[in-house]
Amino acid sequence: MMPLIGFVLIPIVLGLLMYIKPHSYTKAVTMFVQGIMLYMSIKYLFQLHHTNEIVELLSNHQLPVGMTLKLDVLSSVLVLLNNLLFFLMIVFNYHKAYMNKLFIFLFLSLQGMINGIFLANDFFNVYILIEVATVTVSILIMFKKDSQSMYDGMIYLMVNMTAMAFFLLGIGFIYKYFGVLDFDTVSQMIKTLDDPQPLMMPYALLLTGVSLKAALMPLFSWLPKAHGTASAPSIVSSILSGIFVKTGLYLFIRLQLFFDPVLDVSSYYLFMGFITAIAGFTFAIAQKDIKLILAYHTISQVGLIMIGLNISATSSFNGAMYHILNHGVFKSLLFIIAGLCIEIFKTRDITKMKGLWYHSKPISIGLIIAILSITGAPFLSGGYSKYLISKGYAGFGGTFIFQLLSLGTMISFIKFFKMIITKPDQAKNDAVSKNEVVVVCLMALLCILFGVFGDYYTALILKYDASYPLAKQLSKFGSYLVYYAIGYGLYKWIIEDRKWTVHLSGIELGFNSIGLSIVTFFAGTMAYLNWIY
Amino acid sequence: MFQFLQNISEIYITGENTSLVIFFIGVYGLTARRNILKSIISLGIMQAAIILFFVSMHAHVEDVPPIGTSFSVMPADPVPQALMITAVVIGVSVTAVSLTMFITIYHKYGSTNWNKVRIKRRDIG
């Protein structure tokens, strides 16, 4: 059995070796090692069935002096998703021209560092790994070196560094009060506190950094530029939206688990999640650039996950966890299909892409499955996890909110359906290679499996009995179709070719405004905490 | 009066409070200055403030350096110092990457102003 540190070190060392001594079989070795990593993460998942957590000491000293890596249910889900996505992306990219030694080095280092973020068991290691991963991502964003991407990469780097400075200051306060930095001891010590007053400052500072990483409402302006930039290869966008944005959500869950006994701010984040979800799909509807639509959609889905995490019911929390996994799969699928569409049609404007069905049938089917999944159709992964999230929030208000969100998602994906079924205006372009089709089909299959056998997978991965059988899923089919019809009506009535969408798509915050929004968020969180305690 | 001021300054002007003031001076620089170079410098100021915060927490003038195995008086806490060496390295590399990017941006857009660069970027896209 591979030790946990292998998840962090193997990709980084492999990438480095490949960089120093490139060879004709570099790509084959990379793919083979990715397969092993995926296999090991599945094996660890099964091992977690017998025990609650696996802890590995990195030195001879016990906690709180030593340093440990820890795998529990929460981190195992994310490690699995990370290694799954990286394996699929490497297979997908096998024949691409830009897969050179530098790209492989950066890409594999990113994988190791993301694994490290999920496995690390203390605040400072998490900070270091996020910081280095951010630098790597900013280089990957501008990998094709065109003029637009320089600005995008610079904004991404500076904004994230600012947020991480807040995070580090928060860590400073944690160390000042508790004298330790590992998660286990800090969480035990927080439980013994009666007075929430001294925790407010570190909590607000840490959460400002984490919320920016997760792209919550006022702090999301950097995300569309980073995830939707023209220069980044489509697999980089897939990884950013599929897994990297989840590091913020993961840290949010961790911090909530620590601070929850003393500071309960779930209603604040429930509200923020709701606004984020609404803002995300509103901006997505206004866009015409295929990658920007998907990037804004990530924000909307982050909002939905945030809502799920902050509802007190167990089903919603597990639904949100399952949605993190499902969203990782279908959003990556959508991004790689977007990359293929840009190659086929030689444009990024979705209104100019016509007749995808004529150009490539398997890709069209993959796209339809991904869209049905993200819009929450029955029998598909997205529908399953969205049902679980909404189950814990019954009542008129809750139903209204979730219906509004799914309606918004449906409306923003109407353009994609149009792209498939319209009449083609270009000669047939079958530039799609076999390995790309295989990956698209595999990911589409995962979307179906995670939905149809959702009961089995939630029990296996999250140890949660969801009980949402197929017959119950089938009963939702009628309402899904009715909603889509309403969505189409709304699209025709108030959205299609309207001027307000053009105005909305032009809204963009500059660097100073993003900095101001970070400060506002911090001040707002502090004010809220002072108000309720 | 002088004695009073001295007492006040001894109580309030500590390393930690000073570092918080410096941190928010850095934040002000990020939100109010449009020059990209000044933004990078502001980020550096924030990092310096954090380093001051870490090394001045639980610090006393009479502490001895935590080097060796036997101590006559209590040594200073070595953990924040060790952490800050890492943070300094990270800070330097981040500043280096940002400055490299800034040079490329200046070559491509011919401006050091965030807003002008943003407008030019929009015109290209």
The percentage of residues in chain A with a pLDDT greater than 90, rounded to a whole number, is: 54
- Could you tell me if residue A194 is inside a domain? no
Give the model's confidence band at B73: pLDDT under 50 very low, under 70 low, under 90 confident, else very high: confident
More confident residue, B40 or A397: B40
In this complex, the residue of A131, A181, A510 whose CB is nearest that of residue B118 is A510
Q: How many domains are there within chain A?
A: 1
Nearest-by-CA chain A residue for B112: A151
- Written as one letter, the residue type at B89 is V
| Neighbouring residues of A61: CB distance < 8 A, sequence distance ≥ 6 | A67
User: DSSP string covering A227-246, please?
Assistant: HH-SSS-HHHHHHIIIIIHH
| DSSP 8-state assignment for residue A144 | T
B27–A158 C-beta distance less than 8 A: no
In this complex, the residue of B33, B43, B125 whose CB is nearest that of residue A158 is B43
Considering just the CA atoms, what is the radius of gyration of chain B in Å? 21
Give CA–CA dist A530/A197, Å, rounded. 8
pLDDT in tens, A62-103: 888 888 999 999 999 999 999 999 999 999 988 888 888 899
Give the model's confidence band at A503: pLDDT under 50 very low, under 70 low, under 90 confident, else very high: confident
Nearest CA to CA, how far is B3 from chain A (Å)?
Answer: 30
Give CA–CA dist B107/B116, Å, rounded. 14
Report the pLDDT averaged over residues A443-455.
93
Would you say residue A232 has pLDDT above 90?
A: no
Global ipTM:
0.95
Contacting residues of B for A152, CB less than 8 Å apart: 121
CA distances from A190 to A118, A178, A180, A530 (A): 21, 9, 12, 18
Residue A24, domain extent: 1-121
Would you say residue A245 has pLDDT above 70?
A: yes
Nearest-by-CA chain A residue for B83: A124
Report the pLDDT averaged over residues A444-459.
92
Buried-exposed string A314-345: b where 16+ CB fall within 10 A, e elsewhere: ebbbbbbbbbbbbbbbbbbbbbbbbbbbbebb
Element (H, E) at A470: helix A470-475
- Written as one letter, the residue type at A403 is Q
In this complex, the residue of A142, A150, A161 whose CB is nearest that of residue B94 is A161
Report the pLDDT averaged over residues A207-227.
89
- Written as one letter, the residue type at A174 is I
The percentage of residues in chain B with a pLDDT greater than 70, rounded to a whole number, is: 99
The burial class, CB within 10 Å (0-12 / 13-18 / 19+), for A165 is buried
| Neighbouring residues of B114: CB distance < 8 A, sequence distance ≥ 6 | A510, A511, A512, B34, B35, B36, B39
3-class SS of residue A64: coil
CA atoms within 13 A on the CB side of B72: 1
B105–A132 C-beta distance less than 8 A: no
- Could you tell me if residue A36 is inside a domain? yes
Q: Among B14, B121, B122, which would you mutate to test the A interface (most chain A Cβ atoms within 10 Å of its Cβ)?
A: B121
Contacting residues of B for A505, CB less than 8 Å apart: none
Q: Among B21, B31, B51, which would you mutate to test the A interface (most chain A Cβ atoms within 10 Å of its Cβ)?
A: B31
CA distances from A135 to A16, A144, B72 (A): 17, 16, 44
Look at residue B50 in the predicted model and tell me its pLDDT: 95
| Backbone angles phi and psi of A132, in degrees to 5 | -70, -40
CA distances from A473 to A111, A351, B51 (A): 35, 33, 55
Give the model's confidence band at B57: pLDDT under 50 very low, under 70 low, under 90 confident, else very high: confident
Contacting residues of A for B109, CB less than 8 Å apart: 147, 150-151
A176–B57 C-beta distance less than 8 A: yes
- Could you tell me if residue A75 is inside a domain? yes
**Pick from A184-188, A201-205, A392-396: least confident:** A392-396
B121–A175 C-beta distance less than 8 A: no
A503 is written with which tokens?
A: 């105005």
Q: How would you classify residue A432: left for phi > 0, otherwise alpha for psi between -120 and 50, otherwise beta?
A: beta
B105–A150 C-beta distance less than 8 A: yes
Give CA–CA dist A528/A514, Å, rounded. 21
Look at residue A396 in the predicted model and tell me its pLDDT: 63
pLDDT in tens, A409-442: 999 899 899 888 888 887 777 678 889 999 999 9
- Could you tell me if residue A422 is inside a domain? no
3-class SS of residue A46: helix
A147–B98 C-beta distance less than 8 A: no
Look at residue B125 in the predicted model and tell me its pLDDT: 62
Q: What is the sign, positive or negative, of the torsion defined by CA atoms of A112, A113, A118, A119?
A: positive
Look at residue A230 in the predicted model and tell me its pLDDT: 76
Which residue segments constitute the domains of chain B, with CATH numbers given?
Answer: 2-58+76-124 (1.10.287.3510)
The mean pLDDT value of chain A amounts to 90
pLDDT in tens, A308-320: 999 888 889 999 9
Q: What is the sign, positive or negative, of the torsion defined by CA atoms of A46, A47, A49, A53?
A: negative
Report the pLDDT averaged over residues A221-246.
88
3-class SS of residue A28: helix
| Neighbouring residues of A273: CB distance < 8 A, sequence distance ≥ 6 | A216, A302, A303, A304, A305, A306, A307, A309, A310
Give CA–CA dist A444/B103, Å, rounded. 43
Would you say residue A116 has pLDDT above 90?
A: yes
pLDDT in tens, A390-404: 887 766 677 888 888
- Could you tell me if residue A32 is inside a domain? yes
CA atoms within 13 A on the CB side of A404: 15
pTM across the whole model? 0.94
- Note the helical H segments in A23-99: 26-47, 73-92
Nearest CA to CA, how far is A345 from chain B (Å)?
Answer: 17
Give CA–CA dist B39/B46, Å, rounded. 11
Give the model's confidence band at B22: pLDDT under 50 very low, under 70 low, under 90 confident, else very high: very high
Contacting residues of B for A230, CB less than 8 Å apart: 125
A515–B31 C-beta distance less than 8 A: yes
3-class SS of residue A53: strand
- Could you tell me if residue A504 is inside a domain? no
Angle, to 10 degrees, between the axis of helix A147-178 and the axis of helix B15-32? Answer: 160
Report the pLDDT averaged over residues A166-190.
92
Nearest CA to CA, how far is B72 from chain A (Å)?
Answer: 22
Contacting residues of B for A170, CB less than 8 Å apart: none
Q: Of the candidates A251, A94, A108, A121, which has an alpha carbon nearest to the alpha carbon of residue A186?
A: A121
- Could you tell me if residue A435 is inside a domain? no
Residues A70/A53, Cβ–Cβ less than 8 Å: yes
Nearest-by-CA chain B residue for A514: B31
Give the model's confidence band at A477: pLDDT under 50 very low, under 70 low, under 90 confident, else very high: confident
B114–A512 C-beta distance less than 8 A: yes
- Written as one letter, the residue type at B74 is M
Q: Which residues of A touch B (CB under 8 A)?
A: 124, 128, 131-132, 135, 138-139, 142, 147-148, 150-154, 157-158, 161-162, 165, 168-169, 172, 175-176, 181, 230, 508, 510-512, 515-516, 519
Would you say residue A212 has pLDDT above 70?
A: yes
In this complex, the residue of B32, B80, B98 whose CB is nearest that of residue A512 is B32
User: DSSP string covering B47-91, please?
Assistant: HHHHHHHHHHTT--TTPBPS-SS--SSPBPPHHHHHHHHHHHHHH
- Could you tell me if residue A28 is inside a domain? yes
Contacting residues of A for B79, CB less than 8 Å apart: 175, 181
The burial class, CB within 10 Å (0-12 / 13-18 / 19+), for A135 is buried
